[in-house]
Structures are given as C-alpha cells and as structure tokens.
C-alpha cells in the first residue's frame, strides 16, 4: 500500500474531464472517499467539474458533473486537504495553477504541495488524479503539469479530433482569438483542437 499519482493530459475537448469523472464514479462505487478540487482561476464553471460535448454549431453542453471546491492558493489547498478525510483527491484543470514569478522550478506551489502530500501519506492508499493541459496554445509546457508528469506513477495522454481536417490526431489547443497571453480562459469560441499539420503557431514563435 503506497500513495500514488496519476496524471491525465491532452488538448481541450479531448475528454480529460470525462475520463476523470469516470474514474471518480468507479472510486465511489468502490466506497472510496473522494474529494475534488479545481483552480479558482477557471471561471467558466462554478462549483463543479463537468464533462462537455461539442455540438456541430460549436456550442457545448454538459454531459456529467461532480461537485468541486475552488482552490485559490497554497493556503486554501492545505485547508481543504488537511482534514485528511479522503482516499482519492481529484484535481481538474490543474494547468491554471501558476508557477512562481520568477520561475524557480517546474512544479510551482501546487506541484510542490502535491509532492508534499504524497510524501506525508506515502504509506496509505491515497490516490491523486490530476487532469490538465500539458501544452499551451504556443506548444510550450503549461504550468505545473510537466513537473507533475515527472512525478507521476502513471500518465494517460489523450488526443482529440482535429476541428479542421477531422483526423483523430488532435494534440494541441489552437487559440483562434487574438491574444498573446499564455493564460486566457476560454471555450469552443476561443479554441479549436488541431492536429500537427493543421496547427498554426503564433507569429512570435
């Protein structure tokens, strides 16, 4: 019996949250105590994590959802997990957790906190499942996800369907609005899944 970390990555609309929710339903069937958190920076959906389907007109609709607690910073993270009343800790949209400014490592406060929690509960059956984007719109590593991939016991990398050519090889979230900031909260109106052939890097890259 040992604590373990699982990471699910891929572009937007690849089914990361759907896969995460499926794993959490399975844990609940097994009578595991589940706690779900998400970054407060993700302002699209309040109070829960949700899997969504993309309609032909580009709109999205929720297909499943589970209640989640927003995490603002390291202090609120430890306030939430410090009660130690869970077997499974799920984290969705983890790329929204910022790295240090200036950058000191590839984990940021969130990645370091996950590592510390794994160390604290290393002799338990704690299962941490983290889902998020591994790359930003410019093909750069995104937030603490690359560091968490290095720490993970298992990694699942999903792809989506390219919204240009339809190939089952979508690997990146193409930003289709003009904004050079790395962190721009958006949905189907701001991003498309693209394959490597259809992806167009930003001009500055």
Phi and psi at residue 155, in whole multiples of 5°? -135, 135
Q: What is the dihedral of CA 94, 95, 97, 99, to 10 degrees?
A: 140
Ranges 7-16, 83-92, 180-189: which has the least confidence: 180-189
Q: If you ran DSSP here, which 8-state letter would residue 183 be given?
A: -
Predicted local distance difference test score (pLDDT) of residue 58: 63
Q: Which residues are catalytic?
A: 93
Tokens 């406060």, located at residue: 109
Residue pLDDT, tens place only, 97-139: 999 999 999 999 999 999 999 999 999 999 999 999 999 989 9
The domain spans of the chain are: 4-158
pTM: 0.90
Q: Which residue has the higher pLDDT, 170 or 77?
A: 77
Closest CA to 24 of 14, 36, 15: 36
Predicted local distance difference test score (pLDDT) of residue 52: 74
CB 97 within 8 A of CB 143: yes
Q: Report the share of the chain in percent with pLDDT over 90.
A: 71
Q: Report the share of the chain in percent with pLDDT over 70.
A: 92
Predicted local distance difference test score (pLDDT) of residue 124: 95
Which pLDDT band, with edges at 50, 70 and 90, does 204 fall under? low
Residue pLDDT, tens place only, 5-51: 999 999 988 999 999 999 999 999 999 999 999 999 887 777 889 88
Mean of all residue pLDDT scores within the chain:
90
Predicted local distance difference test score (pLDDT) of residue 205: 46
| Cα–Cα dist 77/110, whole Å | 8
CA 16, 21, 22, 23 dihedral sign is: positive
| Cα–Cα dist 190/173, whole Å | 9
pLDDT at position 185 over 70: no
CATH 3.40.50.300 fits 4-158, yes or no: yes
Q: What is the mean pLDDT of residues 166-182?
A: 81
């Amino acid at each position: 019996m040992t604590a373990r970390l699982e990471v699910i990555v891929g572009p937007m609309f690849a089914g990361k949250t759907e896969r995460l929710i499926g794993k959490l339903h399975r844990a609940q069937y097994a009578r595991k105590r589940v706690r779900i958190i998400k970054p407060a920076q993700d302002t699209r959906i309040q109070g829960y994590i949700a899997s969504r389907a993309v309609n032909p007109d580009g709109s999205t609709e929720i297909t499943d959802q589970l209640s989640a607690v927003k995490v603002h910073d390291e202090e609120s993270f430890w306030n939430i997990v410090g009660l130690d009343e869970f077997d499974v800790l799920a984290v969705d949209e983890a790329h929204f957790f910022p790295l240090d400014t200036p950058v000191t490592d590839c984990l940021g406060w969130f990645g370091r906190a996950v590592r510390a929690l794994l160390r604290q509960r290393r002799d338990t059956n704690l299962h941490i499942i983290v889902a998020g984007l591994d790359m930003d719109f410019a093909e750069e590593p995104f937030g603490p996800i690359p560091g968490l991939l290095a720490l993970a016991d298992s990694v699942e990398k999903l792809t989506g369907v390219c919204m240009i050519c339809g190939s089952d090889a979508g690997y990146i979230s193409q930003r289709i609005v003009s904004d050079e900031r790395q962190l721009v909260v958006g949905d189907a109106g701001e991003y498309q899944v693209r394959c490597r052939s259809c992806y167009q890097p930003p001009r500055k890259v």
